[in-house]
Amino acid sequence: MPTTLFDPIDLGSIHAPNRILMAPLTRGRATAGGVPTAIMQTYYRQRASAGLLISEATAISPEGHGWPSAPGIWTDEQVEAWKPVTEAVHQAGGRIVLQLWHMGRIVHPYFLGGQPPVSASATTAPGHAHTPEGTKPYEQARPLRLDEMPRLVDDYGHAAQNAKKAGFDGVQLHGANGYLIDQFLRDSTNLRDDIYGGSPENRVRLLREVLERLIEVWGTGPVSVRLSPNGDSQGADDSNPAAVFGEAARVLQALQLGFVELRQPGPNGTFGNTDVPQQDALIRSIYTGPLVLNSDYNADQAAADVASGRADAISFGRPFISNPDLVDRIATGAHWNPNKGVPQTWYFPGEAGYTDYPTLAEETEAA
């Protein structure tokens, strides 16, 4: 019998009852200081039937925090505010890991008291940043110095320790979508000539060092990573993605991560050019642990990729926004609600478009 979306799976040390995961989704419902709010407890509890919830991207430090009202995990106040969220998920029978985020050059100086953001090299992201004062053009980043790299790795380690205190079941390193780790991986954003630049082996060094620190805190099983090896992501691209992401896969295999999630952009993808060769087969040929694919899937495509063995699980993003019971809807072949008022309600504060989407049972009762 082929594997189905409803077969259980061990994602490292995390036992998931099904293979329908919720992908990380920035929603902007924390305070301006990155402290989770009460409605976030409701939001995550509503979606706890997913095999695993991957939290929205969560900043590891003020230096890496550059999205209005995105949550953080660097202060005691943030840790205490995350605790009711994880408790709500666990009480509903769910599992949740925290995605650790440093935005690198995507942070606007507005968030840094006017100081430039940091990155692998002195580059500038294309487009505009979202700030509480409206959109502003990105500004040139300054390269992280060699003597700063241990401190950066320590920031990730401190965030991982805080995630454990907050009650999460594990952590995921955000290495995708043109943010800091991705900026070190790609040769369009990494122009360094030291031990963190040049060869693919050097450009994956920060990825490896951070993952090693996360494993020191959590052990191997609860640690995962998200990568986006296909094409341009917010101006981060590579002239030979197979070389650098093949080397990254060798690191992931050597570390025996709990699972790897790959963002596979479809025709309506959020970031960058999608007309590029997909790298999941290359990574799957090297990394032998659970592989999760994401982006623009419908139920039939997801079922087919799991049945064929292309992926071990599928993470859904936007469908989980408007369908808190997406697992039940896929199981019964029911309709999926569209996202209302998008993209405004994806990120605006308040419950509208956040916790007010009905389940199938609630739709039936209302009818």
Among residues 142, 135, 226, the alpha carbon closest in space to that of 185 is found at 226
Provide the phi-psi class of 214: left if phi over 0, else alpha when psi is between -120 and 50, else beta. Answer: alpha
Amino acid at 92: A
Cα separation, 49 vs 26, whole angstroms: 19
The catalytic site residues sit at 179
What is the CB-side half-sphere exposure of residue 219 using CA atoms within 13 A?
A: 8
Q: Is 39 strand, coil or helix?
A: helix
Cα separation, 266 vs 294, whole angstroms: 9
Report helix angle 38-46 to 76-91, nearest 10: 30
Q: What is the DSSP string of 129-149?
A: EEETTEEEE--PPEEPPGGGH
Q: Are 119 and 105 in contact (CB under 8 A)?
A: yes
